[in-house]
Structure 1
Amino acid sequence: MTRFTISGAIDTYAKWFAQRFSWTGQYLPLFHLLLAGLVVLSASRLGLVIWQWDRVSAAAIVVSTFVQGIRADLILLGYLLVIPLAFAPLSAVRRLEKWWHLGVAWWASFALIFIVFMELATPQFIMQFDVRPNRLFIEYLSYPAEVFATLWNGFRLATLLSLFGTVVLGLTFHRVFVVSSAYATRWPAKRLLLSWPLVVLLVAFQIRSTMAHRPANPAMFALSGDALVNSLIINSPWSVLDAVYSLRKEANSSEIYGKFPHDQVFAQVKAAPWLKSYQFLSSELPTLHRQTPARQRTRPLNLVIVLEESMGATFVESLGGVPVTPELEKLKQDGWWFENLYATGTRSVRGIEAVIAGYPPTPARSVVKLSLAQQNFYTLALGLGKQGYHTEFVYGGEAHFDNMRSFFTGNGFQKVVDRRDMRPRFEGSWGASDEDLFDKSLERLQHLHTEGKPFFSVIFTSSNHEPFEFPDGKITLHEPNKQTVNNAVKYADYALGKFIQAAKKQAYWNDTLFLIVADHDNRVYGDSLVPIKKFHIPGLILGADMKQQRITTIASQIDLGPTLLSLMGVTSEHPMIGRDLASDSSSPGRALLQFDNYFAWVDDGGAVILRPGQPALLGEYDAGNGNLRFGAAAPTSTQVDRAMAHVILPSLLYREQRYRLPP
């Protein structure tokens, strides 16, 4: 009778696996890592879903949780396969084959140990933070004593079991990989070298996980409005690795402009003329204040924001641009037209944070992509949602691009509609055409109106984006070559005009405010230190009872949120520092611009430019020709302090998580 031992069972399994999958040749340990990883991650996800069944079932994406979960697992495992696969040709050399197998055995063992450890740590982290391990998991590693004390005192048994399980499984995995590799079938060198490029290509596609314009990222898997459920779809190792990557990019903060006393930041910002009269409600949330609307209404209006991709002043004739937006020129007769409105940056996510969240720019990446802003970060949707509004985001492309889906679903948007929810008649590289986008938007707005609840919808266009693809026969081309930026803008303007004309015929028109605004201009260029002219964008508020009015003062995208709430008749508490132009649209204003590592404060007195490691500059800006000239005069300390306070403020609010509403 054969004596049973654990090591014997492991060896028997390893031999069986090597024989069963002998067709994989020298790739056997890599294939073994792939299968073992899928089993561990899927089992963990199943256990977490059962544990959190009430929330998963309420999100109505049970099947997607597992199907998309496997997809996310394959992406992670693809990354773990890259390094050993890169050295696979070494196994074609008999003298090196043994060392390659040994190296892969160790690599695969450590990879699975990492996976097991992260998945075993997940339940405790969820109980603390209601989401899988993320950036906070990494940050807490900086405080080992406090973390260990917390785990030992609060989760002693779970911690011991997790550590024990990780060690035991790690040793088991290593034994399995070593034995199975010893029994792997050896391919001839020619066969291995010919197959290697194909395997590399296959793993590359496994990592990309899509034939779409952009590769998959964690935001793609944000399928519900519940952050926990979204986190269950992906896996903890990928979540943490993505957080590490994000942390590396967050190092470029506002402190690059020099030191500025933090206790002066809030005082400087609150000294703005449009904020002086407000009562600030919380020392913990320093910019939180109560805003009373300039227009009192029996029932506050609905709100629709149309964020136009790259439709800057460059393309608006009345703003000194090319005459390719005739529909917008007509529409400006129906509402408030901003003649001196400026974007805060040069990327869509920068425009999103400014328009949707009223958040000023920083030298770091937009908060749309930063980890600490993925939940409970103030947006108009979060504020209006607390007042009974239905909130949603409609986009013709892939909503996970630039992390938009994750940011929106975590911060108040109850529904995200994107390319997958449309049946476009024309589809370009960036998704459905603007006409298809607006058709879907009209359908959604009618549905929301029928439900009888107030609504807030953000519609983000994409046709005006390289390679400038749009349907034939819709417009008279501005230039003979169809796929140019001017033609694409003209098509986007055409689609916008159709949308507004159709919306005007609907019952909700008289109860709804529409904002049409660009996220930024198109490609920013120029020999100026800060090309201020390329930040100039059109803005138009129309609908409901809006009458024609020209807003001539300098304004920023961050002013739009407070102005819209005031015009809608919404009394609210929010942390936005922008100006309510409905209360005062004629006093001098300012714009805040972030261009690469330069920050500019622009007002009627000129432009103060903050530079990393160098003194600030004072320039004279000519809006007519776009020239920014610097003389011998330096900015005053008051001008520099004001600019410094406004660029440091958002960094402080983000890092300390103080740009939010009270519980």
Structure 2
Amino acid sequence: MPLNRRLLRFFGPYLHYVVMLLVMLLLLSASRAGLFIWQYDRVVAAGDIATMLLQGIRADLILAGLWLSLPLLLAPLLAHQASFTLWRYFSHGWVLLGLCLVIFIEVSTPQFILQYDIRPNRLYIEYLKYPKEVFSTLWQGYRAMLLGGIAITLLLLWLLHRLFSKVTAVVQPYATRTFWCSWPVILLLVFAAIRSSTEHRPANPALFAITSDALVNSLIISSPYSVLYALYSLRHEARSSEIYGTLPDDEMLALALDWPWLKQLSFLNKTLPTLNYRQASVTRSKPLNLVIILQESLGATFVESLGGVAVTPELEQLKSSGWWFEQMYATGTRSVRGIEAVVSGFMPTPAQSVVKLSLAQQNFYTLGSTLAQRGYHTSFIYGGEAHFDNMRSFFTGNGIKQVIDLAQMPAPVFVGSWGASDEDLFTATARHLADMHQQQLPFFSLVFTSSNHTPFEFPDGRISLHEQPKQTVNNAVKYADYALGQFIAHARQQPYWQDTLFLIVADHDNRVYGSNLVPVEKFHIPALILGADLMPRHIKPVASQIDLAPTLLSLMGISGQTPLTGRDFSKDDSSPGRALMQFDQYFALMEQQQLTILRPGQPAVSARYNLLQKQLVLSEQAPTAQQVKRTLAQVLLPSYLYRQQQYHLADQP
């Protein structure tokens, strides 16, 4: 009997899937090898390449097994003589769909790595919700790569269609007895491939995190597997922090609130465990107004005095006029994570930001909650479309009375992929603040910039370019800095200046990357408080974005109850501080320069961060059990508060 006939008989109705398995393994291995070559220096420094490639094939078998599970479960219904024509065409379409997804996601991987220094993950899924903004960004900034990726995907898909058309024409059913004898065995093999472990828990991406470099760990698995696991993980968002472990609630609360700045406060409301009363450090007959300028992607890497590129001359000048935080750290790598930290004082988790989670769309604390109760007019001002990342819903449900976005900006001078330019944004802001002052209304405005966002579009003729071509991140930052300087110069001349506190702070850095397990240097951001009667000061200790809200309220002269757990730097600006950082699946607690890093499914590690060299040095000695518990408590607390809906003021439901 010819060999091809033997193979046909041997693989029977599963021939499509055997070919698919071989093609998928070949494509993913080739892609991984290419990425390894591209990132060769980091891969070699991280570990043994052969081991990583073999582990990659193991992860690919998990992905293939997951895709095979549906047709395998349908086989008893379709893979017999009576319905075999339907089985043939279903199999043809199913394998092409799977391979199409594999090819498209792998082809888009290099650009994602360039932006986020990691394979596609949950962010990849989240951005698919906003096709207008995403497509506009890709078309304006990455047109050649977009068209090339589509062309490669279509070409490979056409070739695979021709290959599987031949398979469809020759595939044959098993005899009934052969089918029922083989089906349980194949089911067991596929199940074993998916589980990929004999341990108590099945394999997951954490099992393949075998190096100290997060990018290299992500390269070991495939991008489709990473995205698929992210989709699966969305089901468990409310308890996401428990991927690191659990603690009894009482112990968790005691450890999470065990900070020097909280020890003198009373936590008496058992249903609102973080609610506390704070006395303002400044007594004022009339509390100050507040304007928060949240700067898109303005990391310390762009600020000369923080060791970055000299593209923020306006901010460099302004820092001598107010409180300048030398070691402010973002809590995450997304704008919504910055929003939840700055505006709500909420700690990070491995889940999505609460800005996007369902239980936080009402009765969730923001600065607007406190200020709206005190008669402030509260607003959110954004140059793009406020529905992006669910911002409009979150703000309007939690103390923000007015949203001003692109639709409310009359005749903006320049509109790019992400909305009106920062100049247009600040023009609308200046108009709004002047109107509030004229009506003698106290005001709080959150102003969110967007010009420093890929594809880095901004109007011509405003700045002398830092470099060529025009649309680079350094030029965009310099333009954003110029627009900020113009706005602050204008605000200084307004009658509301002496009654208003301004915070300038980044949401996160532009790109969070590096060979460190947690790239601490890319969480470092500028933060400056100025305005009113504030005297210049440099804040030297480590600080977190969650410390800004209590500090601002205190400087404004507002005493009262809030659920904030951050530190009031107006009462102590010299004792050691801490920062909380969520990087993909890693959570880090940094106390001064010492870090404890939690990893899902793996032991915690200890490290020390060298600020001058911007280098994280892992310790050979594991953190103590108490250090791990203390760190675990910090990430369990926000998930607990969200799940129990206990992060709000006392008079809210």
Aligned equivalent of 2:303: 316
Which of the numbers 540, 553, 558 marks the counterpart of 1:570? 558
1:304 is aligned to 2:291:
yes
Q: Specify the code of the residue in structure 2 equivalent to 1:304.
A: V
1:461 is aligned to 2:446:
no
CA distance in 2, matches of 1:451, 1:310: 34
Give the drift of 1:261: 1.8
CA contact (8 A) 1:213 1:430 kept: no
Aligned equivalent of 1:627: 615
Q: In the TM superposition, what are the counterparts of 1:440-519 in structure 2 within 5 Å?
A: 440-519=428-507
Give the drift of 1:259: 2.1
1:585 is aligned to 2:569:
no
CA contact (8 A) 2:238 2:639 kept: no
Aligned equivalent of 1:345: 332
Residue-by-residue CA offset, 1:120-170 (whole Å, 9 max, x unaligned)? xxxxxxxxxxxxxxxxxxxxxxxxxxxxxxxxxxxxxxxxxxxxxxxxxxx
Aligned equivalent of 2:534: 546
Aligned equivalent of 1:44: none
CA distance in 2, matches of 1:472, 1:436: 14
Q: In the TM superposition, what are the counterparts of 1:64-463 in structure 2 within 5 Å?
A: 248=235, 250=237, 253-422=240-409, 423-463=411-451
**Residues 397, 603 of structure 1: alpha-carbon distance in 2 compared, 3 angstrom cutoff:** same
CA contact (8 A) 2:238 2:642 kept: no
CA distance in 1, matches of 2:559, 2:129: 46
1:520 is aligned to 2:508:
yes
CA contact (8 A) 1:358 1:558 kept: yes
CA contact (8 A) 1:246 1:371 kept: no
Q: Specify the code of the residue in structure 2 equivalent to 1:629.
A: V
Give the drift of 1:262: 1.7
Aligned length: 431
Q: Specify the code of the residue in structure 1 equivalent to 2:638.
A: P
CA distance in 1, matches of 2:547, 2:291: 16
Q: Specify the code of the residue in structure 1 equivalent to 2:622.
A: A
**Residues 450, 660 of structure 1: alpha-carbon distance in 2 compared, 3 angstrom cutoff:** same
- Aligned alpha-carbon RMSD (Å): 2.0
1:656 is aligned to 2:644:
yes
Residue-by-residue CA offset, 1:211-247 (whole Å, 9 max, x unaligned)? 56579xxxxxxxxxxxxxxxxxxxxxxxxxxxx9996
**TM-score scaled by length of structure 1:** 0.63
**Residues 362, 209 of structure 1: alpha-carbon distance in 2 compared, 3 angstrom cutoff:** closer
**Any idea what SS the aligned residue of 1:560 has?**
helix
Give the drift of 1:251: 5.8
Give the drift of 1:374: 0.2
**Any idea what SS the aligned residue of 1:314 has?**
helix
CA distance in 1, matches of 2:132, 2:297: 25
CA distance in 2, matches of 1:459, 1:629: 37
Q: Specify the code of the residue in structure 2 equivalent to 1:284.
A: T
**Residues 245, 296 of structure 1: alpha-carbon distance in 2 compared, 3 angstrom cutoff:** farther
Aligned equivalent of 1:529: 517
CA distance in 2, matches of 1:378, 1:411: 7
* 266-275 or 533-542, which deviates more: 266-275
CA contact (8 A) 1:214 1:401 kept: no
Residue-by-residue CA offset, 1:550-571 (whole Å, 9 max, x unaligned)? 0000000000000000000001
CA distance in 1, matches of 2:402, 2:478: 30
**Residues 387, 214 of structure 1: alpha-carbon distance in 2 compared, 3 angstrom cutoff:** farther
Unaligned runs of 5+ in 2: 1-85, 87-127, 137-230
Give the drift of 1:269: 2.1
Which of the numbers 579, 600, 604 marks the counterpart of 2:588? 600
Give the drift of 1:280: 1.5
Aligned equivalent of 2:201: none
**TM-score scaled by length of structure 2:** 0.64
Q: In the TM superposition, what are the counterparts of 1:44-63 in structure 2 within 5 Å?
A: none
CA distance in 2, matches of 1:381, 1:444: 17
Give the drift of 1:631: 2.3
CA distance in 1, matches of 2:580, 2:131: 37
**Any idea what SS the aligned residue of 2:597 has?**
strand
Q: Specify the code of the residue in structure 2 equivalent to 1:317.
A: E
CA distance in 1, matches of 2:524, 2:130: 38
**Any idea what SS the aligned residue of 1:633 has?**
coil
Q: Specify the code of the residue in structure 2 equivalent to 1:370.
A: L
**Any idea what SS the aligned residue of 1:253 has?**
helix
**Any idea what SS the aligned residue of 2:326 has?**
strand
**Residues 251, 301 of structure 1: alpha-carbon distance in 2 compared, 3 angstrom cutoff:** closer
CA distance in 2, matches of 1:569, 1:429: 40
Give the drift of 1:281: 3.3
Residue-by-residue CA offset, 1:58-116 (whole Å, 9 max, x unaligned)? xxxxxxxxxxxxxxxxxxxxxxxxxxxxxxxxxxxxxxxxx9xxxxxxxxxxxxxxxxx
CA contact (8 A) 1:565 1:571 kept: yes
CA distance in 1, matches of 2:378, 2:345: 17
**Residues 618, 213 of structure 1: alpha-carbon distance in 2 compared, 3 angstrom cutoff:** closer
CA contact (8 A) 2:605 2:619 kept: no
Q: Specify the code of the residue in structure 1 equivalent to 2:396.
A: T
Aligned equivalent of 1:196: none
CA distance in 2, matches of 1:341, 1:585: 13
Q: Specify the code of the residue in structure 2 equivalent to 1:270.
A: L
Residue-by-residue CA offset, 1:451-498 (whole Å, 9 max, x unaligned)? 112110000000000000000010000002100000000000000000
CA distance in 2, matches of 1:385, 1:293: 18
**Any idea what SS the aligned residue of 2:526 has?**
strand
Residue-by-residue CA offset, 1:577-624 (whole Å, 9 max, x unaligned)? 000000001000000000001000012251100010111100011011
Q: Specify the code of the residue in structure 1 equivalent to 2:365.
A: Y
CA distance in 2, matches of 1:392, 1:525: 33
CA contact (8 A) 1:599 1:647 kept: yes
Q: Specify the code of the residue in structure 1 equivalent to 2:276.
A: H
Aligned equivalent of 1:188: none
CA contact (8 A) 1:249 1:365 kept: no
CA distance in 2, matches of 1:246, 1:572: 38
CA distance in 2, matches of 1:563, 1:437: 26
Residue-by-residue CA offset, 1:22-79 (whole Å, 9 max, x unaligned)? xxxxxxxxxxxxxxxxxxxxxxxxxxxxxxxxxxxxxxxxxxxxxxxxxxxxxxxxxx
**Any idea what SS the aligned residue of 2:481 has?**
helix
CA contact (8 A) 2:130 2:388 kept: no
Unaligned runs of 5+ in 1: 1-98, 100-206, 216-243
**Residues 256, 406 of structure 1: alpha-carbon distance in 2 compared, 3 angstrom cutoff:** same
CA contact (8 A) 1:246 1:370 kept: no
